[in-house]
Every structure is written in C-alpha cells, then in structure tokens.
Amino acid sequence: MNILTSVADAPTVRVLHLEDSDLDAELVREFLGMLDGTVELDRVWTADGFSTALRDQRYDLILADHALPAFDGEAALEIARVAAPLVPFIFVSGTLGEDVAVEAMRRGATDYVVKQRLDRLPVVVQRALAEAAERAERRRAEAALKDSEANFETLVHAMPQLCWLANADGYITWYNQRWHDYTGLSPEEVEGWGWESVHDPRVLPQVVERWSQSIATGEPFEMTFPLRRADGEYRLFLTRAQPVRNSRGEVVRWLGTNTDVSEQQASEEKLRRLAETLESRVVEAIAQREATHAQISELQKMETIGQLTGGVAHDFNNLLTPIVGNLDLLRRRHEGDDRSQRLLSGALQAADRAKTLVQRLLAFARRQVLEARAVDTAALVEGMTDLIRRSIGPRVAIEFKADPDIVAARVDPGQLELALLNLAVNARDAMPGGGTLTIAISEQHVGPGHPAALRHGTYVKLEVSDTGTGMDSATLARAIEPFYSTKGIGKGTGLGLSMVHGLAAQSGGALLLHSEPGDGTRAEIWLPAASTRADGTAASPAGSVPRTRPLCVLLVDDEELVRLGTAEILHDLGHQVVEAGSGSQALELLRTGTEPDLVITDYLMPGMTGTELAAEIRRERPRLPMLLATGYANLAGDEMASLPLLTKPFRQAEVAARIADLMTPATGSRPLLRAVD
C-alpha cells in the first residue's frame, strides 16, 4: 500500500529546511524523496538565510533542527509564526526531549520527528500537508460563505419585495428591512408567529392552514392575501416561500417573499370590467350619437321651416299692406253708408286676422320687426292681468309671483304681451275643467351648461305654469313646430308656441317647456337683462288719428301696389307725396330739387336697401326725418335699430301716429334717432 497516495495530487512540495549538518540534510532529503510528486528543498542554516527565504518564497512546509550553533529552532518558530503562519512547521532534531517537544507544539509547531526515527518523517510530513490543505480549504469555504452571505444581504435589502426566513418548523427568524418599514413593527414584535397580527382576521385561518400544510409536506407555499400597512391600510400581496434543503434533502429553512400586487390586481380588475361593459358602452355611445344626429336634424328642420315660413310670410305681409291700407281708407270714405261699413269692417277684420297669422309666422322665423327696449316685466304682467282673466274665463284661478326689484328685460313689450297671452290661452285649453294658472318672474344668472345653451349673463325668467292635462313626450317634442296643433282643424293654428319660441330666440333668450301627462305644463321664457332701467313706455299705439301740419313726403317702395296704397293713406292725412320706385331714384329726386319734410322708405328693395338709402340721405341732410317701413327683419336688424320703424302692414292711424311722433319731437315720446341700448 502506498501511504502517500493522498498527496499524489500535490505534485510539487516546496520545503524550507533549517539544518547545519550536511549529513542530516542529506538524510532528510532522502526520506522526503519517498513522498509522491516532486520535492523542492531549500536549505538554510542562519537566522538571516531563514528570514530571507521566508520573505522571498512561498513554502508548503518548514523543517527545522532544534539546536543550531548560531541560531536555534525556537527562534525560527517565532519568525515562521509571523512570516508564514499557515505553513506547517516540523522540528527534526536529535536532542528534543518529550517536555520540550510538548512546549514547542503548544507554541505553534505542527509536529516533531527525532533524527533517530527519520523513517517516520514521510508520514508526519504527509499528515501535516494534508491538515494544512484541509485548513486552507476550510478557510476558502468560510470566505466563500461570507461572500455569499454578503451577497444575500445586499440582495434582500435591495429587492422591492418584503422578505423573510423561517426555520424548518415555520417559525420566522428574520425579516428584511422592507418588511419592518411596511408593517411598522419591530423585529421583536413580529418574531416567530408575530406576523399573524398584520393579517386580515377573516383570511388568517386559511393562511395558517396552507402554511402548516407546506411545513408538513415541504411543498413550496404560494398564496395571495392582504397585509396591513403601518398606516392601517390593507394591500394585497402575492406570497411565495421556497424550502431550503441540506445535502440529505431535509428542509432546513424557508425563504419567503411578499410582493405587493394591489396595483396589478386593480388594473386587471379594471380591464375585466372594461371588457365586461364594453358592449353596453358601445351601445350607449351609438345611442348618444343617434340622439345628437336627431337633435341636429331637428334643428336643421326648424331652420328650413323657418326660412320657408319667413319667405312666405314676407310676401303675404307685403300683399296685406295695400289690402289693409286701402280697406281702411275706403271705410273712412264711406262713413254714413251702413251697408258698406259692415262689408268693409268684415273685410278689415279678416285682414286683421290674416295680419296676426303672418305676424306669428314672422315671429317664428325670427324675422319679426322687434322694438326691443328695457321692460319692467312685472309691471307688464300686472298691466295685462285683466286681459288674461278675460281670455281664460272664470274657472281658472290666476296667481302671480314676482321677486322684488327684478332687473328690466330687453324685449319688445307688445310682442311679449302677445307671447304671454298665447301661453295663457294654451293653459286654458289644457284645463277644460278649471285649474290654476301661475305666472312667476325671477332673475336668473346663467353660467355654463344651461339647457338651452344660453350665453353667460343675467336673465329674466317668466314662467307660465298650469295644472292641466300636460303633454306626452311626442307632443312635447313637436309643440313648438309651426302648424303643429292637437286642437283640431279650425281650432288651433299651431303657431302659438312657435311665436313665443321665435320671440324669445330673436330677443337673445329661449323658450323651455316642461310637461308630463296629467301633471300640467310649465313654459319658461328666458330674456336677457337690459343694461338700462325700464323706460315705462306703453306697448300699444294709440287708436285715434293724430293730425300734423301738411307735409311733403318722399315715399320710396319698389312694389307699386304697396306704394300706391301708402301714398293714398298719406294723401288722406293731408300730405303731399313724391313717389320713388327705388333708392337711387329717391336720391336723384333729392339732388334735383325735391325738398321733402319727411322720407318714408321700404326696407327690402332690390339695389339699395332702405337703411343704405337712409345712410346716404343722412350724409347730405342729417336733419331730414326718416321712417323705415318694413315687416321683415333680417340680419341687418341692428343697423335698423337706429331708425324709427313703421311696421307693415299698417293702418292710417299707425302711420299718422308715427309721423306725429317724428315731426313733433317736443311732445313725442321718441327722439328723431333712437339710441341703441
């Protein structure tokens, strides 16, 4: 048996040998030759040589004689302990007694061999080398362990998860700093089974059961549950624990992590809900789109009807002007002839009805000539209560409520009276068995999101409500359409609400309707507040014909029939009339010597409109009074606001009143040119 097999894998052994005797040195070399592999031997015999060798070379083994002439083995041991503490040191001596040997071993020598028994040397050396190799290996393993522990520490402190270690029984022995930061609990508070205190008590029994199962079977643990944060909030964690096994496969400890999955869970939940509700949201979006489409086409329809209505109404209005004017004149001429008077007043009444109809159409089309001014709506309503009472009959009670000190509304007062009357009549028709009609006035401040998309600002709201039949949604949707009526042929024209809507819109406000079948109706007229105080002028013109001195009137109208009719009225009032068929003809007349006291001009004429003509005239004759005759307001309404108006169709009395107003400014209620408020 080769006793040296175990050092076979150490091919070169470097030995430092301290020895003064050549013979002994030779003997030692011989015995060392029995070692497997190569032996490299450096021999020294002085203290200097020993120290230098240890400094310059790396040795696997030191052999030292104990007694040397100039140096001794004890001193060499001292030097070696310092310079090469890990290298085995063996005394080889002929004089070493038992007690000295023991003392030498105590001071760090590895072994000793007496020279008489050098045959033991290979065994002793081999054992010393093997032990040294083992020690070196252990040191390497210890260093590696330290390294890996340092790595582990760095890892568990850097990782975003909460992390912990438990022993084989599931008793937790260590948590990373994040765990303490999250729970706000100290290591002492959570050691062992202390972690139970941060669990939701409703879930804890399942967690304990699953954890115990893993401990019993050694199966990895995985479960999602809430853990309480230091501030009391529970967050959801995915918890995993892996068993760590020794070389025999036994579980020695558990390494666990808790990963916060609250956010992930929330977004998954959101996605799931999103997917679930996708269908209904698509349906909703489509419905919304369709509703918008319907609203747009409804608006377009109203706009088209408005344009058509406006055009037709304008033509009718023009036709009515000479009819009304001439009938009126004829009636005055046939005073005393009873039969003619009856016929003529019948015709006039019909013409008046036609005039009202046309006016409503114009109102709906927002083409009405409005004389908007600051109106005290409460006073206006109070002033017409009698009229309303007479119109709705005794079975309907009237209530009137108004906030005190309401701002004035900017509206045409005559048209507002008509609008309120229309609403009152509708209310009466909806309460055949009687009921209550309430008119309420309040001041409103409109911000974003008004149901009628009104602009920001202050408004006066006039509510007319009844306790009548109400409307179903189909009727409500169509109620303001012109000619829409449920009242039967000959009973309703279907223009009442159209007129109210048109007036409110043209005045910069809105009409809103609220109604439920069986629960009455509430109509709201919203009107913009006026920037000035109410001026208190009466709405309706006087009935009698005021007389002025005979005047020379320049009358401009492109429609011959209308012009002739108006000229006739003016003649009858005692005025002299110069007629012109267009604006340019009128200017021509003025430049060639005609000196009128007053100009009356139609508004809508080919070539030059009435306002353009007025502007031309004003430049040359700034003090010449002018009247603009029109039944039709269009977008140029604002410029017209600066001219006195004569609304078509008109009777002699209205013409006379307007002229009287203009020509006698001292007693008249309106100035030559009205200020725009």
Task: State yes or no: residue 174 binds ligand ATP (CB under 6 A).
Answer: no
- Cα separation, 353 vs 540, in Å, equals 17
What is the nearest approach in angstroms of Mg ion to the Cβ of residue 495?
8
For residue 74, count other CB atoms closer than 10 A to its CB. 16
Task: State yes or no: residue 494 binds ligand ATP (CB under 6 A).
Answer: yes
For residue 143, what are the contacts with CB-CB under 8 A and spacing of at least 6?
Answer: none
What is the nearest approach in angstroms of Mg ion to the Cβ of residue 357?
13
Site for ligand ATP in 427-456 (CB under 6 A): 427, 430
Find, among 605, 608, 600, the residue nearest to 647 by Cα. 600
Stretch that binds ligand ATP, among 31-39, 205-213, 477-485, 589-597 (CB under 6 A): 477-485
Stretch that binds ligand ATP, among 54-62, 374-382, 465-473, 624-632 (CB under 6 A): 465-473
Find the binder of ligand ATP among 380, 384, 471, 555 (CB under 6 A): 471
Among residues 53 and 427, whose Cβ is nearest to Mg ion?
427
Among residues 10 and 477, whose Cβ is nearest to ligand ATP?
477
Per-residue binder mask for ligand ATP (CB under 6 A), 375-394, x = binder: --------------------
**Residue 469 touches which of ligand ATP, Mg ion, none (CB < 5 to 8 A by kind)?**
ligand ATP
**Do 580 and 555 form a contact (C-beta atoms < 8 A)?**
yes
Task: State yes or no: residue 426 binds ligand ATP (CB under 6 A).
Answer: yes
Among residues 174 and 484, whose Cβ is nearest to ligand ATP?
484
Find the binder of ligand ATP among 174, 234, 400, 484 (CB under 6 A): 484
Find, among 108, 648, 45, 653, the residue nearest to 368 by Cα. 648
What is the nearest approach in angstroms of Mg ion to the Cβ of residue 432?
14
Task: State yes or no: residue 317 binds ligand ATP (CB under 6 A).
Answer: no
Find the binder of ligand ATP among 485, 548, 582, 642 (CB under 6 A): 485
Site for ligand ATP in 518-537 (CB under 6 A): 521
Task: State yes or no: residue 479 binds ligand ATP (CB under 6 A).
Answer: yes
Q: Which residue is nearest to ligand ATP (CB)?
A: 496
**3-state SS track over 454-520:** CCCEEEEEEEEEECCCCCCHHHHHHCCCCCCCCCCCCCCCCCHHHHHHHHHHHCCCEEEEEECCCCC
For residue 454, what are the contacts with CB-CB under 8 A and spacing of at least 6?
Answer: 446, 509, 510, 526
State how far the alpha carbon of 615 is from the alpha carbons of 26, 181, 591, 658, in Å.
143, 85, 15, 20
Among residues 494 and 644, whose Cβ is nearest to Mg ion?
494
- Cα separation, 54 vs 47, in Å, equals 11
- Cα separation, 625 vs 662, in Å, equals 7
**Residue 649 touches which of Mg ion, ligand ATP, none (CB < 5 to 8 A by kind)?**
none
Q: Which amino acid is at 233?
A: E
Encoding tokens for residue 536?
């208190």
Stretch that binds ligand ATP, among 256-264, 409-417, 467-475, 595-603 (CB under 6 A): 467-475
Stretch that binds ligand ATP, among 51-59, 493-501, 570-578, 629-637 (CB under 6 A): 493-501
Strands 396-402 and 251-260: unpaired
What is the nearest approach in angstroms of ligand ATP to the Cβ of residue 391?
12
- Cα separation, 645 vs 629, in Å, equals 6
**Do 396 and 431 form a contact (C-beta atoms < 8 A)?**
yes
**Residue 129 touches which of ligand ATP, Mg ion, none (CB < 5 to 8 A by kind)?**
none
For residue 205, what are the contacts with CB-CB under 8 A and spacing of at least 6?
Answer: none
Task: State yes or no: residue 415 binds ligand ATP (CB under 6 A).
Answer: no
Give backbone dihedrals phi and psi of 136, rounded to 5 degrees, phi first: -60, -40
| Residues within the interface to Mg ion (CB under 5 A) | 426, 496
Give backbone dihedrals phi and psi of 255, rounded to 5 degrees, phi first: -115, 120
By CB under 6 A, name the binding residues for ligand ATP.
Answer: 422, 426-427, 430, 466, 468-471, 475, 479, 484-487, 492-498, 521
